[in-house]
Amino acid sequence: MTLFTQTKLLTYAKILTNQQQSFQTRRLFFYFFAFTFYLIISTLPACAETVKISCPPKLVMAAPPINIDAIFPDWDKSCGKPENFIYSRPQMLSELAQANVVYLGETHDNSVDHQNQLQIIQQLQQHHPKIAIAMEMFQRPYQGVVDQYLAGKLTEQELLAKSEYETRWGFPWEYYAPILRFAKDKQLPVLALNTPTEITRKVASQGLESLTVSERKYIPPLAEINTSNQKYRQLSLQAFQLHQSAGHGNSSGAERFFLAQVLWDETMAEGIAKFIKANPDYQVVVLAGQGHIVYSYGIPSRVARRLGSQKLMQRSVLLSPPQEAITGKDEVAIADFVFK
């Protein structure tokens, strides 16, 4: 086990713990899974194996740090000067404004994350009036409900009821309401990205082959559900294997867990890619849990795959990452920007 893998497991575990609490139906299934990540880390020995690492993400701070060496210990001089990796918010916004897709990775129950999301969207919209907001918080079958709200045909309470928000997402509506109100006021499209809960649950327990024709219309074609990323798989299966050794699950269950995780990513990526193809003059701002964004393993790489040779610039921001995301050394950067 390399130091790279050890660091990544710890970082991803903290992110996944929050992400997997998105829906009431996920919580029981994933409770032991998230805990197992921590158990793996606590039992891993240190390893001196050398791994080629990337430069760290850019750290977004309200004020320059007093001691930069404390933030970036053991700085790799091949990355240049460490002060070049300290950004102000205006500097970050300047780079984000040039991107086709901006990912704002949240911790779902962190109200400050949602305040920052709104501020970033508002500031980007001043640069680029044509912005679409793509949201993990609404599921695909309810796109029409979201559209009706934006058109003024539904009240907020009707939006919540008709989209089944409380049972399908459940985090406090006041976290997201200002974002939806801004979209409605500015007439910005909002994309309902997520896989229906019942489909994710069915795949996690029975596999993709169990889905009916009517259920498959809410997900990408099965041939596009790509589980070939071995490092992404490692993060999921290694924890599940230890979980299995304690008598909680089996190898087929581990594969289905990973499959369900990838299904969320692929479904959301498909929605984003389709919108970009149809509306190339729009910038898309994606609101999703950090676990779908880190290392580009989840949504970003799958959007890029779908758009192929099309010129595409994507940028990712982690709004409340664990400390390891700032100081950890990885083969690839965990994101383009992290908030401090």
Q: Which helix (H) or strand (E) holds 289?
A: strand 283-289
Q: Rg (Cα) of the chain, in Å, rounded?
A: 20
CB count, 10 Å around CB of 93?
Answer: 18
DSSP string, 149-212: HHTTSS-HHHHHHHTTHHHHT-S-HHHHHHHHHHHHHHT--EEEEEPPHHHHHHHHHH-GGG--
**Rounded-to-integer distance, Cα 307 and Cα 309, Å:** 6
Tokens representing 318?
Answer: 């982690």
Q: How many residues does the chain have?
A: 340
Q: What is the pLDDT of residue 333?
A: 86
DSSP string, 229-269: -HHHHHHHHHHHHHHHHTTS--HHHHHHHHHHHHHHHHHHH
Tokens representing 54?
Answer: 């990337």
CA 260 to chain centre: 15
Q: What is the pLDDT of residue 26?
A: 46
Residue carrying the six token digits 């965990």: 334
Chunked in runs of 10, what are the mean pLDDT values of the chain (340 residues)?
44 46 43 37 38 81 88 86 94 97 96 98 97 98 98 98 97 98 98 96 92 96 95 75 53 78 96 97 96 92 93 95 69 89
Its sign, for the CA torsion 227, 108, 97, 79, is negative
In 3-state terms, what secondary structure has residue 15? helix
Tokens representing 337?
Answer: 């920007």
Q: What is the CATH number of domain 3-339?
A: 3.40.50.11550
For 261-287, the three-class secondary structure string (H helix, E strand, C coil) is: HHHHHHHHHHHHHHHHHHCCCCEEEEE
**Rounded-to-integer distance, Cα 188 and Cα 184, Å:** 6
Contact 227, 262 (CB under 8 A): yes
Q: What is the pLDDT of residue 277?
A: 96
**Rounded-to-integer distance, Cα 128 and Cα 282, Å:** 8
Amino acid identity, position 76: D
Per domain, the residue ranges of the chain are 3-339
Residue 139: name the closest of 99, 199, 49, 72 by CA.
199
**Rounded-to-integer distance, Cα 168 and Cα 176, Å:** 14
Q: What is the pLDDT of residue 50?
A: 43
